[in-house]
Amino acid sequence: MQVLLQTLIGGITFGAVYALVAMGFSIVYRTMGLVNFAHGSVVMIGAYAASTFYMATRLPFAVAMVVAIVVTGLIGLIIERFLRPLENKDFTLMLIGTIGFGAVLEALAILIWGATGHAVPNPVATEPIDLGGVRIPTYSLLVIGVAALATALLALFLQRTKTGAAMQAVAMDHEAATACGIHVGRSNATAFAIGACLAAVAGSLIGPMLYVNPTMGGTLGIKGFAAAMLGGFGSMPGAIVGGMAFGLLDAFAAGNFQEYSELVTFVVFAVVVMIRPMGIFGEATVNRA
Protein backbone atom coordinates (compact mmCIF):
# COMPACT_ATOMS: atom_id res chain seq x y z
CA MET A 1 0.00 0.00 0.00
CA GLN A 2 2.78 2.39 0.96
CA VAL A 3 4.64 1.55 -2.24
CA LEU A 4 1.47 2.13 -4.25
CA LEU A 5 0.80 5.55 -2.71
CA GLN A 6 4.43 6.60 -2.96
CA THR A 7 4.47 5.60 -6.64
CA LEU A 8 1.30 7.63 -7.11
CA ILE A 9 2.95 10.74 -5.68
CA GLY A 10 5.95 10.48 -7.98
CA GLY A 11 3.68 9.80 -10.95
CA ILE A 12 1.39 12.76 -10.26
CA THR A 13 4.28 15.18 -9.80
CA PHE A 14 5.88 14.25 -13.11
CA GLY A 15 2.43 13.90 -14.67
CA ALA A 16 1.66 17.53 -13.80
CA VAL A 17 4.78 18.64 -15.65
CA TYR A 18 4.00 16.43 -18.66
CA ALA A 19 0.48 17.89 -18.68
CA LEU A 20 1.90 21.42 -18.88
CA VAL A 21 4.17 20.39 -21.77
CA ALA A 22 1.26 18.61 -23.50
CA MET A 23 -0.96 21.71 -23.12
CA GLY A 24 1.71 23.78 -24.86
CA PHE A 25 1.70 21.34 -27.77
CA SER A 26 -2.07 21.29 -27.88
CA ILE A 27 -2.77 25.01 -27.81
CA VAL A 28 -0.59 25.58 -30.87
CA TYR A 29 -2.07 22.55 -32.60
CA ARG A 30 -5.70 23.46 -32.02
CA THR A 31 -5.16 27.01 -33.29
CA MET A 32 -2.87 26.36 -36.24
CA GLY A 33 -3.07 22.62 -36.87
CA LEU A 34 0.71 22.63 -36.45
CA VAL A 35 2.86 20.42 -34.24
CA ASN A 36 5.52 22.67 -32.75
CA PHE A 37 8.54 20.38 -32.59
CA ALA A 38 10.60 23.15 -31.02
CA HIS A 39 8.42 22.91 -27.91
CA GLY A 40 10.78 20.59 -26.01
CA SER A 41 13.64 23.02 -26.59
CA VAL A 42 11.48 25.92 -25.41
CA VAL A 43 10.89 23.96 -22.17
CA MET A 44 14.66 23.63 -21.86
CA ILE A 45 15.18 27.37 -22.40
CA GLY A 46 12.51 28.01 -19.77
CA ALA A 47 14.34 25.76 -17.32
CA TYR A 48 17.63 27.53 -18.02
CA ALA A 49 16.16 31.01 -17.81
CA ALA A 50 14.39 30.34 -14.51
CA SER A 51 17.30 28.50 -12.88
CA THR A 52 19.87 31.06 -14.03
CA PHE A 53 17.93 34.01 -12.65
CA TYR A 54 17.11 32.07 -9.50
CA MET A 55 20.70 31.00 -8.83
CA ALA A 56 22.78 33.88 -10.20
CA THR A 57 20.73 36.91 -9.18
CA ARG A 58 19.15 35.27 -6.13
CA LEU A 59 15.71 36.38 -7.26
CA PRO A 60 12.87 34.59 -5.47
CA PHE A 61 11.87 31.48 -7.39
CA ALA A 62 8.46 32.89 -8.33
CA VAL A 63 10.05 36.04 -9.81
CA ALA A 64 12.61 33.97 -11.71
CA MET A 65 9.74 31.95 -13.09
CA VAL A 66 7.97 35.08 -14.32
CA VAL A 67 11.19 36.24 -16.01
CA ALA A 68 11.46 32.84 -17.68
CA ILE A 69 7.85 33.11 -18.86
CA VAL A 70 8.54 36.49 -20.44
CA VAL A 71 11.74 35.25 -22.12
CA THR A 72 10.16 32.16 -23.64
CA GLY A 73 6.95 34.03 -24.52
CA LEU A 74 9.13 36.30 -26.68
CA ILE A 75 10.78 33.25 -28.24
CA GLY A 76 7.33 31.88 -29.06
CA LEU A 77 6.43 35.17 -30.79
CA ILE A 78 9.67 35.12 -32.75
CA ILE A 79 9.11 31.54 -33.95
CA GLU A 80 5.58 32.40 -35.06
CA ARG A 81 6.77 35.55 -36.87
CA PHE A 82 9.33 33.50 -38.81
CA LEU A 83 6.77 30.88 -39.77
CA ARG A 84 3.98 33.35 -40.66
CA PRO A 85 4.90 33.78 -44.36
CA LEU A 86 4.45 30.03 -44.75
CA GLU A 87 1.03 29.94 -43.12
CA ASN A 88 -1.53 28.44 -45.52
CA LYS A 89 1.19 27.96 -48.12
CA ASP A 90 3.46 25.13 -47.17
CA PHE A 91 2.58 23.14 -44.10
CA THR A 92 5.48 20.69 -44.34
CA LEU A 93 7.98 23.55 -44.41
CA MET A 94 6.38 24.99 -41.27
CA LEU A 95 6.82 21.64 -39.52
CA ILE A 96 10.45 21.45 -40.58
CA GLY A 97 10.81 25.06 -39.52
CA THR A 98 9.81 24.18 -35.96
CA ILE A 99 12.32 21.29 -35.93
CA GLY A 100 14.98 23.73 -37.12
CA PHE A 101 14.06 26.17 -34.37
CA GLY A 102 14.47 23.38 -31.83
CA ALA A 103 18.02 22.77 -33.05
CA VAL A 104 18.76 26.51 -33.02
CA LEU A 105 17.53 26.88 -29.42
CA GLU A 106 19.66 23.92 -28.32
CA ALA A 107 22.73 25.40 -29.99
CA LEU A 108 21.96 28.80 -28.43
CA ALA A 109 21.73 27.21 -24.99
CA ILE A 110 25.16 25.61 -25.49
CA LEU A 111 26.57 28.99 -26.56
CA ILE A 112 25.11 30.84 -23.60
CA TRP A 113 25.31 28.31 -20.78
CA GLY A 114 27.81 25.74 -22.07
CA ALA A 115 27.15 22.08 -22.77
CA THR A 116 27.56 20.73 -19.26
CA GLY A 117 24.44 21.99 -17.53
CA HIS A 118 23.87 22.59 -13.81
CA ALA A 119 21.89 21.28 -10.88
CA VAL A 120 19.26 23.59 -9.36
CA PRO A 121 18.81 23.72 -5.59
CA ASN A 122 15.33 23.02 -4.26
CA PRO A 123 13.53 26.37 -3.72
CA VAL A 124 11.38 25.03 -0.87
CA ALA A 125 13.96 23.39 1.32
CA THR A 126 11.67 21.91 3.95
CA GLU A 127 11.27 18.34 5.11
CA PRO A 128 8.77 16.25 3.15
CA ILE A 129 5.34 15.81 4.71
CA ASP A 130 4.94 12.38 6.28
CA LEU A 131 1.47 10.85 5.99
CA GLY A 132 1.59 7.45 7.65
CA GLY A 133 4.89 6.54 6.05
CA VAL A 134 4.08 8.06 2.67
CA ARG A 135 6.35 11.02 2.14
CA ILE A 136 5.19 13.94 0.06
CA PRO A 137 7.98 16.37 -0.85
CA THR A 138 6.78 19.95 -0.37
CA TYR A 139 8.19 20.77 -3.77
CA SER A 140 5.85 18.21 -5.36
CA LEU A 141 2.90 20.06 -3.82
CA LEU A 142 4.24 23.30 -5.28
CA VAL A 143 4.58 21.71 -8.72
CA ILE A 144 1.04 20.34 -8.64
CA GLY A 145 -0.33 23.65 -7.32
CA VAL A 146 1.38 25.81 -9.93
CA ALA A 147 0.36 23.43 -12.72
CA ALA A 148 -3.26 23.55 -11.57
CA LEU A 149 -3.14 27.35 -11.35
CA ALA A 150 -1.68 27.65 -14.86
CA THR A 151 -4.38 25.33 -16.18
CA ALA A 152 -7.16 27.32 -14.50
CA LEU A 153 -5.81 30.63 -15.82
CA LEU A 154 -5.59 29.20 -19.32
CA ALA A 155 -9.17 27.88 -19.17
CA LEU A 156 -10.39 31.29 -17.97
CA PHE A 157 -8.52 33.03 -20.74
CA LEU A 158 -9.86 30.76 -23.46
CA GLN A 159 -13.46 30.89 -22.26
CA ARG A 160 -13.90 34.31 -20.74
CA THR A 161 -11.82 36.77 -22.76
CA LYS A 162 -12.41 38.15 -26.22
CA THR A 163 -8.95 37.14 -27.44
CA GLY A 164 -9.55 33.68 -26.09
CA ALA A 165 -12.87 33.42 -27.86
CA ALA A 166 -11.24 34.68 -31.05
CA MET A 167 -8.63 31.94 -30.74
CA GLN A 168 -11.35 29.34 -30.31
CA ALA A 169 -13.03 30.71 -33.43
CA VAL A 170 -9.82 30.48 -35.45
CA ALA A 171 -9.37 26.93 -34.22
CA MET A 172 -12.85 25.99 -35.42
CA ASP A 173 -12.79 27.66 -38.84
CA HIS A 174 -10.10 30.13 -39.67
CA GLU A 175 -11.76 31.36 -42.87
CA ALA A 176 -15.01 32.12 -41.15
CA ALA A 177 -13.03 33.74 -38.33
CA THR A 178 -11.23 35.97 -40.84
CA ALA A 179 -14.59 36.91 -42.32
CA CYS A 180 -15.70 38.01 -38.85
CA GLY A 181 -12.70 40.33 -38.68
CA ILE A 182 -10.43 38.22 -36.52
CA HIS A 183 -6.74 38.65 -37.26
CA VAL A 184 -5.60 35.04 -37.76
CA GLY A 185 -1.91 35.87 -37.64
CA ARG A 186 -2.29 37.63 -34.29
CA SER A 187 -4.32 34.74 -32.98
CA ASN A 188 -1.60 32.30 -34.04
CA ALA A 189 1.02 34.47 -32.40
CA THR A 190 -0.96 34.45 -29.17
CA ALA A 191 -1.20 30.65 -29.34
CA PHE A 192 2.54 30.35 -29.82
CA ALA A 193 3.27 32.78 -27.02
CA ILE A 194 0.92 30.97 -24.62
CA GLY A 195 2.44 27.63 -25.61
CA ALA A 196 5.90 29.00 -24.89
CA CYS A 197 4.76 30.46 -21.54
CA LEU A 198 3.41 27.04 -20.56
CA ALA A 199 6.76 25.58 -21.59
CA ALA A 200 8.49 28.05 -19.29
CA VAL A 201 6.25 27.06 -16.38
CA ALA A 202 6.98 23.38 -17.05
CA GLY A 203 10.69 24.04 -17.50
CA SER A 204 11.14 26.14 -14.39
CA LEU A 205 9.20 23.58 -12.32
CA ILE A 206 11.18 20.61 -13.62
CA GLY A 207 14.57 22.33 -13.14
CA PRO A 208 14.98 21.59 -9.42
CA MET A 209 13.59 18.07 -9.95
CA LEU A 210 16.18 17.20 -12.59
CA TYR A 211 19.47 18.48 -13.94
CA VAL A 212 19.25 21.39 -16.37
CA ASN A 213 21.23 20.82 -19.58
CA PRO A 214 20.81 21.70 -23.27
CA THR A 215 19.48 18.28 -24.30
CA MET A 216 16.90 17.89 -21.54
CA GLY A 217 14.19 19.10 -23.93
CA GLY A 218 14.38 15.91 -25.99
CA THR A 219 12.86 13.44 -23.54
CA LEU A 220 10.45 16.01 -22.08
CA GLY A 221 9.30 16.96 -25.57
CA ILE A 222 8.65 13.35 -26.56
CA LYS A 223 6.82 12.55 -23.32
CA GLY A 224 4.73 15.72 -23.56
CA PHE A 225 3.92 15.10 -27.22
CA ALA A 226 2.92 11.49 -26.49
CA ALA A 227 0.81 12.72 -23.56
CA ALA A 228 -0.99 15.19 -25.83
CA MET A 229 -1.63 12.41 -28.36
CA LEU A 230 -2.89 10.10 -25.64
CA GLY A 231 -5.35 12.68 -24.34
CA GLY A 232 -6.52 13.73 -27.79
CA PHE A 233 -4.32 16.14 -29.69
CA GLY A 234 -5.63 19.68 -29.55
CA SER A 235 -7.88 19.09 -26.57
CA MET A 236 -7.01 20.96 -23.38
CA PRO A 237 -8.67 18.55 -20.92
CA GLY A 238 -7.10 15.79 -23.01
CA ALA A 239 -3.64 17.25 -22.50
CA ILE A 240 -4.14 17.28 -18.73
CA VAL A 241 -5.50 13.75 -18.57
CA GLY A 242 -2.89 12.53 -21.04
CA GLY A 243 -0.06 14.13 -19.06
CA MET A 244 -1.27 12.64 -15.79
CA ALA A 245 -1.83 9.26 -17.43
CA PHE A 246 1.68 9.30 -18.84
CA GLY A 247 3.24 10.26 -15.53
CA LEU A 248 1.38 7.50 -13.70
CA LEU A 249 2.01 4.95 -16.43
CA ASP A 250 5.71 5.77 -16.28
CA ALA A 251 5.78 5.51 -12.49
CA PHE A 252 3.95 2.20 -12.22
CA ALA A 253 5.86 0.68 -15.13
CA ALA A 254 9.13 1.63 -13.37
CA GLY A 255 8.04 -0.17 -10.22
CA ASN A 256 6.68 -3.28 -11.89
CA PHE A 257 8.66 -3.80 -15.06
CA GLN A 258 12.08 -2.53 -13.97
CA GLU A 259 14.37 -2.09 -16.97
CA TYR A 260 11.51 -2.73 -19.39
CA SER A 261 9.48 0.18 -18.02
CA GLU A 262 10.07 2.47 -20.99
CA LEU A 263 9.12 -0.31 -23.38
CA VAL A 264 5.93 -1.06 -21.44
CA THR A 265 4.97 2.64 -21.25
CA PHE A 266 5.23 3.15 -24.98
CA VAL A 267 3.61 -0.19 -25.87
CA VAL A 268 0.60 0.76 -23.73
CA PHE A 269 0.62 4.17 -25.41
CA ALA A 270 0.74 2.58 -28.88
CA VAL A 271 -2.12 0.22 -28.06
CA VAL A 272 -4.32 3.03 -26.70
CA VAL A 273 -3.64 5.16 -29.76
CA MET A 274 -4.41 2.20 -32.03
CA ILE A 275 -7.74 1.59 -30.34
CA ARG A 276 -8.60 5.27 -30.09
CA PRO A 277 -6.63 7.11 -32.77
CA MET A 278 -8.13 10.43 -31.65
CA GLY A 279 -6.94 9.90 -28.10
CA ILE A 280 -9.02 9.71 -24.92
CA PHE A 281 -10.83 13.00 -25.48
CA GLY A 282 -11.29 12.28 -29.14
CA GLU A 283 -12.87 15.49 -30.32
CA ALA A 284 -12.75 16.02 -34.06
CA THR A 285 -9.25 17.39 -34.41
CA VAL A 286 -8.42 20.44 -36.44
CA ASN A 287 -6.80 19.86 -39.79
CA ARG A 288 -5.82 23.00 -41.55
CA ALA A 289 -3.12 21.69 -43.82
Partner 1 sequence: MRITLVATALLAALTACAPPGQSGSTGTQASGPIKIANINAQSGQLSSLGQWENKGVKLAIKEVNAAGGVNGRQIQLDLFDDQGDPTVGTNLARKIAAEGYIAMLGTAESAVTLAMAPILKDAKIPNITSGQSPKLAELKSPFLFLNAPTSVTFDETLAKYLVDEKGYKKIALISNNGAYGSGEHDAFLTSLKTRRVTPVADEVVTPDQKDFNANLAKIREQDPEVLFIGAEEVQSGLIAKQARELGLKAVIAGGAPIGTDVYATTAGLPNAEGSIVSSPYLSNEASDAIKAFAAKYKTEYNEDARMHVAKAYDGAMIMVEALRATGGEGGQKLADAIRAVKRDGLLGAYTYDEFGVGIHETKIGLVKDGKVVPEAAS
Interface with partner 1 (CB under 8 A): 2-3, 6-7, 9-11, 13-14, 110, 115-119, 121-122, 128, 130, 135, 137, 209-211, 213-216, 219, 247, 250-252, 254-256, 258-259, 261-262
CA–CA separation, 228 and 35 (whole Å): 11
CB closer to partner 1 out of 62 and 115 = 115
Task: Give min distance, CB of 48 to partner 1, in A.
Answer: 14
Q: For 134, phi and psi rounded to 5 degrees?
A: -90, 120
Buried b (16+ CB within 10 A) or exposed e, 182-216: bebeebbbbbbbbbbbbbbbbbbbbbbbbebbbeb
Q: Measured from the CB atom, is 7 or 235 closer to partner 1? A: 7
How far is 103 from 117, CA to CA, in rounded Å?
Answer: 17
Minimum Å gap between C-beta 52 and partner 1 is 15
CB of 42 to partner 1, least distance (A): 18
CB of 67 closer than 8 Å to CB of 50? yes
- Taking the C-alpha atoms of residue 95 and residue 105, their distance in angstroms, rounded to an integer, is 16
Q: Of the two residues 182 and 251, which places its CB atom closer to partner 1 in the complex?
A: 251
User: Nearer to partner 1 by C-beta: 3 or 275?
Assistant: 3
Closest distance between partner 1 and the C-beta of residue 44, in Å? 12
Work out how close the CB of 216 gets to partner 1 at its nearest, in angstroms, rounded to a whole number: 8
Name the strand (E) or helix (H) holding 129: strand 129-131
